Structure 1
Amino acid sequence: MGSQVWYFLAIFTLITTGESRQVSSETCHPNDLKGLTRFKAAIRLDDSGRLGKWIGHDCCKWEGISCSNTTGRVIQINLPGFFTSSDDSPVQTSMKGYLSNSITLLSSLEVIDLSGLAGLTGNIPPSIGFRLPKLKKLSLFGNKLEGRLPESIGKLSNLEVMYLHENSFSGSLPESLGNLKCLRFLDLHSNRYTGLIPDSIANLTHLKTLNFQNNLLSQHIPDNIGDLQALKELDLSNNSLIGRVPSSITKLKAISVIYLNNNKLEGEIPQPFSSEQMPALRFLRLHDNLLMGRIPDSLGYLTSLERVSLANNKLDGSIPTSLGNLRSLTELYVNGNQLSGQIPSSLGQLSQLLILNISNNMIQEPLPQEMASLINLQTLDLSFNRLNLSSIPDWLLKLPSLSQIRLASCRIQGELTEYLQSTSSSLQVMDFSDNNLTGNIPALIGSLTELYLLNLGGNSLVGEIPSTITNLVNLGVIDLHANKLEGSVHWVFEIQTRFGGGSLTYIDLSDNRFSTGIEQIGKGMQQEIQDLNLSHNFLNGKIPTSIGTLGSMQILDLSYNNIESELPPSLGNATSLERLKLQKNYLTGNIPNEFLKLRKLEELNLSNNMLIGEIPFGKPLIDFPKSSYLQNTGLCGKPLSPCRA
C-alpha cells in the first residue's frame, strides 16, 4: 500500500512539474505578443540592436522582457538608454520612434522602463490607468514625449515609482495624482506643466521624493504639504509659484532637502519652533524669490543643515547670531538682500564652512576677528556692502584654505603690494575692484600662479604692467578697466602663448592710458578669447590680420583710440562676433566684403573714422542703423545715401 502512495506522489510531482515547465516555455499571450510587436514596429531606429533580436513568438526570451513564472504574462519592459553590455561596461543607446497605445495591451505589466532613450515621441496613452492595473514602476524620463498627463493615471493604485522628467509634457497636473497611495518617488521635473500643484498631492503619505522643478507651475504651494510625513526630498524650484511658503512645511519630520528657489514666493520664512522640527534637514534653497522679513533666529535649531541659500530676496534686519549653532554648515549664501548691522562673531564657530557670500547687502564694519577661525573657508564674498575697511585685515588674507576672495567696493585703500605679501599663492579668484587702491601693480602679482580671475578695475592704479604677469598662465578673466595704467598691452597676449597657456576668455583693459601692443592680437594665440575690450585708451598702430584667428570671439571693442589702419579682411573670419565697436579711431580704406560673413553680428559701430567706398550690400551690414556708419565722409550705400555713379 505504501509503495502505491509513493508511486502516485511521484506521478503527481512529474505532472505538476511538467505543467510548470510548460507554462514558462509557452509562447507569449497573444495580447502581449501583439503589443510588443506593435511597439517594435513604431520604433524607427534602435542603435543598440536590442529590438533586432526580437524574433519568434516566445517574447519571454526577448532582451529587455521579463515574464511571470506562474502566469507566463509579460510583467516587465526594461529598455533604458543606459544598460550594461556583456563585458559589464556601461553602454548608452537611443531609440527613435513613437510610444503607441499598443503598450497597454500588456495588461499584466508591473514595470515599464524606457528611460533615457532621447528619441521616443508620442503621448502617454489615455487608457493607461484602466489597462495596466498592476503597474508599479513607470520610467519614461529623458525622451521627447509630450501632451498631458492623463486623468486615468490615478487608477494605477499599485504605482510606486513615476519618473517622467526631461520630456515635453504640458498642461495641468491631474487631481487624480492624489489617488496613488503607494507612490514613493514622483519626478516630473524639466517639462512644461502649468497651473497649480493639486492639494490632493498631500494624500501621498508614502512619498519620499517629490520633484516638480523646472516647469511652468504658477499657483500656491498646497497648505497641507506638511502631511507628507515620509517625504525626504522636495524640489519645486524654477517655476513661477506664488504666495507664502506654507508653515506646515516645518512639520516634515523626515525631510532632508527643500529646494524652493527661483519662484515668486513672498512673505516670511516659516519658523521651526523646536529642534524636533525638520531634524534631518541638510539642504535649504530659498534663493531668488520675493521673501521678506528677518532671517528667523530659530533657523539655529536646524543643526543638521549643511547648505543654506537665502540669496536674492528682500530679507532685512541683522544676520542672526544663532547661525553659529549650525556646526555642520559648509555653504551660506545670504547675498542680494537688505541685511544690515554687522557680521556676528558667532559665525567664527562654523569650522566646516567652505563658502560664505554676504555680498550686496548693507553690512557694516568691523569684521569680527573670530572669522580667523574659519580654517576651511575657501570662498569669501563681502562685496558691495557698507563696509569701510580702509585696509584688508591681515588675518583675512592668511586664511589657510582661501582660494576665492571678493572684496569689491569695500573702500579699501593703500597699495596692492602690502596685500599681496600676505596672500596665498594658491589663490584662484581675486576681486578688489571699485576700491581706492593706488600705486603700481607689483611684480609680486606673478607669484599667484593659480589665479583664474583677476579684477582690479575701478581703482587708481598707475604705471606699466610688470612682466611677471605673464606667469599667470591659468588666467581666464582679467579686468583692469578704469585705472591709470600705461605702456603696452602685449603682455596680455603673451599670457595666451607662454608655457602652453591659452585659457583667457575675458579681457577688459578699457579706460586706461595704454598706447602700444595691439599688433600682438591673435599672434600664436589660442581661440578661447570671447570678450576683448581695449576701448578708451591711446592705442596706436594697425589692427593685425592675425585677429581673424580668434574664432570664438563674441565681443571686440577697440573704440576711442588712435588706431591708424585699414580694416583687415581676415576679421571676417571671426564668425562668432556679436558686437564689433571700432568707432572714434583713424580707420581708412573700404569695409571689406568679408564682413558679410559676420552673420551673428548684432551690434556694429564704425562711426567717426575715415572709411570710404560703398558699404558691402547684404546682411548683416545693411540692417544696422545709419549711426553705425556716420562721420565717415567717404562712405555710401545702404543704409547711407546711395553712391554716385
Structure 2
Amino acid sequence: MGCHMLWLLLALTMMAATSIVRGCDLGDLKGLASFRGGIHTDTSGRLVKWAGRSCCRWQGVACNNLTGRVTGVHLPGFISTTDSVFQSQMEGWLSSSITLLTSLEVLDLGGLVGLTGRIPASIGRLKNLKQLYLYGNKLRGPVPDSIGKLLKLEELHLHENRLSGYLPPGIGCLKNLNALLLHSNGFTGSIPGSFSNLTNLMHFDLYSNSLTGNIPENIGELQLLKELDLSENFLTGKIPVSINNLTSISVMYLDCNHLEGEIPFPSNYGQMPMLGFLRLQNNQISGKIPPNIGFLVSLKRVSLENNKLEGAIPSSLGSLKALTELYLGGNELSGVIPKSIGLLSRLLLLSLSRNSIQGPLPDEMSALQNLQTLDLSFNNLNLSSIPMWISELPSLSRIFLAGSGIKGRIPDSLRLTPSPVQELDLSSNDLTDGIPTWMGSLTQLYSLNLSRNRLSSSIPASVANLEALGVLDLHSNNLTGSLEHVFKMGTSFPGGSLTYIDVSDNSFTSAIEHIGVGTLERLEYLNLSHNLQKGRLPTSVAKLKALKCLDLSHNKLGSGLVEGLANLSHLETLKLQRNSFTGKIPVEFLNLKNLKYLDLSDNLLVGEIPAGKPLSDFPQSCFTGNRGLCGKPLSPCKS
C-alpha cells in the first residue's frame, strides 16, 4: 500500500472521529433525546450528563468509530464500582423513538425497576440488534411480532417484568396468585410465532411474566439456542415435539406453567446432547417418565416435581452418569426404585417424596457415596426401620423419611453418621418412647421434625446444646413436662438460631414462664396451642421482637393480657382463644399494624374493645365467648 493510500485512510479516520466529536446522527440524537425525555427520575445521574450534540461521548452510549452511528445503549440498573454493586433507579416511560437508533447492536436497560411502557411495535427496525436486555422492569403488554425481524439477535432477556418490581424466586409457582398476576404483571399475550426466524438466538429468557397460549410449535428451528427459560408464566398446551431439534440446548426451564401432555423427548439417541439442566416442575404433565431419558447423557439437574407422572421410574436413569440432582416428588409414580439408581455416583440430591413408590429400598443405593440429601417421604415404603446403610452414607446430612412406616424408637445409628446431620424429618411415622438424650450431640442440626408420632416422656436437657437449630417441630405427640430447655437455647448462644417452634398438640404443663428467658431474637413462629399450660403470660414475651405468629390457644392460661405484646411490631397472627384471660384488651394492641389474624374468643375478657384499626377490621367471631366484652364489632357498650 502506497503512502498516498495510507494518508487517505488516516484522513478518513480523522474525519470520522471529528464527526463524532462534533455531533451525532440526527436520527440517533432524536432517539436518545426522546428516551431521556421519557425518564423523570434517574438516581444514577447518568442522563443528566446527556447534553450537547456529541452523543457518542455520553455515559452509557457506544458508537462505531468510523460511521459515528450509535451501536450500544448500556444503562443497566445494577452498577458496579470498585467497592460494591448497587441498583440505580430510572422511573419513566420507554419511548418508542428508541427504534430510531437503527445501527444499534446492544440495548441494555435491564434491572431498571421503574421503567414502564411497552416494547415498541417498531422494534423490528433495529436490524443490527444482537443483544436486547429488558428484564427486571415494569414493562407490560404483548411481545410484538416484529421482534421476529431481528435476524441478528443472539441474546433476548425479557424476564421478570412485574408492576411491583422483583418478586421472590418461585413466586410464579404459587397458583393462588395466578389471577392476580395474569392481568397486572409483565408481558401478556402469546409468544409470537415469528420467534422461529431468530436462528442466531442463543439465550431466550421470558420467565416471570404473564404469557399465555402455547409454546410455538416451530421452536425447534432455533438451532443455536443454548438457554431457554419460559418458566413462571401461564403457558398451556403440550411441549412441542420439535424441541428435540434443539441440538445446542444446555438449559431448558419450562417450570411453573400449565403445560400438559407427555414429555416428548428424547425420542432417539443423540438428541439434545448438551442438555444439562432441565426443569419441568409445577405443571400438569402426564404419562410416564420417558424410558429413553437415559439418552440425555449430559443431564446434571432434573426436576419433574409436582406433575401427574405415573408408572415406574425407568431404569435408564442409571445411564445419567453426570447427574447430581434428581427431583421427582409430588407425582403418581409407583413400583420400586430401580437398582440402577446406585450407578449415579455423582448424585448429591435425590427427592422422590409424595408418590406411591413401594419398598424395599434397593441395597444398591448404598453406593451413592456422594449423596447429601435423601427425601423418600410419603410413599408406600413401609420401612419398619431405617436401613443401616442410610446411616453409613459418608456424605448424607439431610434425611427426610416422613410417612415411611418407621416404628419403634428413634434409631441410635443416626447418632454416629459419618457426615453430621443437618436436617432430620421423621414425622408422620409410628415412633414411640422418648426423644433420645444423644439428640443434643447433633450440634450441626438445623431442622428437626418429629411431629405426628407417638413420642412420650419429656424433652431432654441436652437439646439446649443444639446451637444451630433453626426449626423445631414436635407437634402432635404425647410429650410432657417442661419446655424450659427449648426456651433456654438463646441463653447459651446469644441471639439464638431458632426461627420456628411448633410443640402444639402435646401435654406440656409448663413452658410459659420461660418464654423470653433466652433471647431467641430470630424466633418468628411459636405454637404452644392444645397443651396443658397454666399461669400467666410473662412480660418477657415482649423480647421476641421478630415474632410473626404466636399461638397459645386451647390452654389454661389466665390473668390479664400482657401490654408488651403490642411491642411485637412484626406480629401477623395472634391466637389466644380458649383460655381464661381476664381484664381488658390493652389499648396498646392498636399498635399491632401488621396484624392480619386475631382470635381472642372464649376467654373472660371485659370492657370496651379499643376503637380503631386493626381491631375494628376483625369479625365478631374473634371476640365472641367473652361475656364482658362490648364495642365494635360486638354490640355497643351500655352507658
Secondary structure of residue in 1 paired with 2:114: strand
2:94 — aligned with what?
99
1:445 — aligned with what?
439
2:528 — aligned with what?
534
Q: Does 1:576 align with 2:570?
A: yes
1:555 — aligned with what?
549
Q: Contact 2:148–2:198 at 8 Å: present in 1 too? A: no
Letter in 2 for 1:69: N
Which of residues 100, 109, 116 in structure 2 aligns to 1:114? 109
Distance 2:633 2:363 in 1: 63
Q: CA deviation at 1:223?
A: 2.6
Q: TM-score, normalised by structure 1?
A: 0.88
Letter in 2 for 1:68: N
Post-superposition CA distance 1:168-208 (Å, at most 9, x none): 59xxxxxxxxxxxxxxxxxxxx9633333333333332222
Deviates more, 1:579-588 or 1:326-335: 579-588
Distance 2:614 2:85 in 1: 47
Q: Contact 1:291–1:315 at 8 Å: present in 2 too? A: yes
The aligned runs of 1:43-62 (5 Å cut-off) are 43-62=39-58
Distance 1:434 1:9 in 2: 86
The aligned runs of 1:325-474 (5 Å cut-off) are 325-416=319-410, 418-424=412-418, 426-474=420-468
Which of residues 209, 214, 218 in structure 2 aligns to 1:224? 218
Q: Which runs of 5+ in 2 are unaligned?
A: 164-183
Q: CA deviation at 1:158?
A: 4.4
Q: Does 1:502 align with 2:496?
A: yes
Which of residues 251, 276, 300 in structure 2 aligns to 1:282? 276
The 1:346/1:611 distance shift into structure 2, 3 A limit, reads: same
Q: Does 1:244 align with 2:260?
A: no
Deviates more, 1:152-161 or 1:538-547: 152-161
Letter in 1 for 2:215: I
The 1:425/1:558 distance shift into structure 2, 3 A limit, reads: farther
Q: CA deviation at 1:483?
A: 1.4
Q: Does 1:72 align with 2:99?
A: no
Distance 2:201 2:7 in 1: 50
Give the superposed CA RMSD.
2.8
Distance 1:342 1:482 in 2: 31
1:144 — aligned with what?
138
Secondary structure of residue in 2 paired with 1:44: strand
Letter in 1 for 2:624: L
The aligned runs of 1:159-170 (5 Å cut-off) are 159-167=153-161
Letter in 2 for 1:619: K
The 1:520/1:310 distance shift into structure 2, 3 A limit, reads: same
Distance 1:47 1:332 in 2: 44
The 1:588/1:245 distance shift into structure 2, 3 A limit, reads: same
Q: Contact 2:157–2:206 at 8 Å: present in 1 too? A: no
The aligned runs of 1:577-616 (5 Å cut-off) are 577-616=571-610
Distance 1:10 1:364 in 2: 81
Deviates more, 1:110-119 or 1:34-43: 34-43
Which of residues 519, 524, 530 in structure 2 aligns to 1:525? 519
Letter in 2 for 1:323: L
Deviates more, 1:497-506 or 1:443-452: 497-506
Secondary structure of residue in 2 paired with 1:421: helix
Distance 1:420 1:136 in 2: 56
Q: Does 1:265 align with 2:267?
A: no
Q: Contact 2:466–2:489 at 8 Å: present in 1 too? A: yes
Secondary structure of residue in 2 paired with 1:462: coil
Q: Contact 1:165–1:191 at 8 Å: present in 2 too? A: no
Deviates more, 1:477-486 or 1:139-148: 139-148
Q: Contact 2:480–2:509 at 8 Å: present in 1 too? A: yes
Letter in 1 for 2:426: F
The 1:554/1:123 distance shift into structure 2, 3 A limit, reads: same
Distance 2:313 2:599 in 1: 48
Q: CA deviation at 1:147?
A: 4.3
2:77 — aligned with what?
81
The 1:320/1:19 distance shift into structure 2, 3 A limit, reads: closer
Distance 2:33 2:330 in 1: 57
The 1:217/1:297 distance shift into structure 2, 3 A limit, reads: same
Deviates more, 1:209-218 or 1:109-118: 109-118
Distance 1:261 1:9 in 2: 60
The 1:110/1:285 distance shift into structure 2, 3 A limit, reads: closer
Deviates more, 1:552-561 or 1:73-82: 73-82
1:205 — aligned with what?
199
Choose 1 or 2 for highest CA Rg: 1
Secondary structure of residue in 2 paired with 1:481: coil
Letter in 2 for 1:65: V
Deviates more, 1:440-449 or 1:409-418: 409-418
1:315 — aligned with what?
309
Q: Contact 1:495–1:501 at 8 Å: present in 2 too? A: no
Q: Contact 2:151–2:199 at 8 Å: present in 1 too? A: no
Which of residues 299, 303, 307 in structure 1 aligns to 2:297? 303
The 1:135/1:199 distance shift into structure 2, 3 A limit, reads: closer
Q: CA deviation at 1:124?
A: 3.9
The 1:198/1:512 distance shift into structure 2, 3 A limit, reads: same
Q: Contact 1:147–1:168 at 8 Å: present in 2 too? A: no
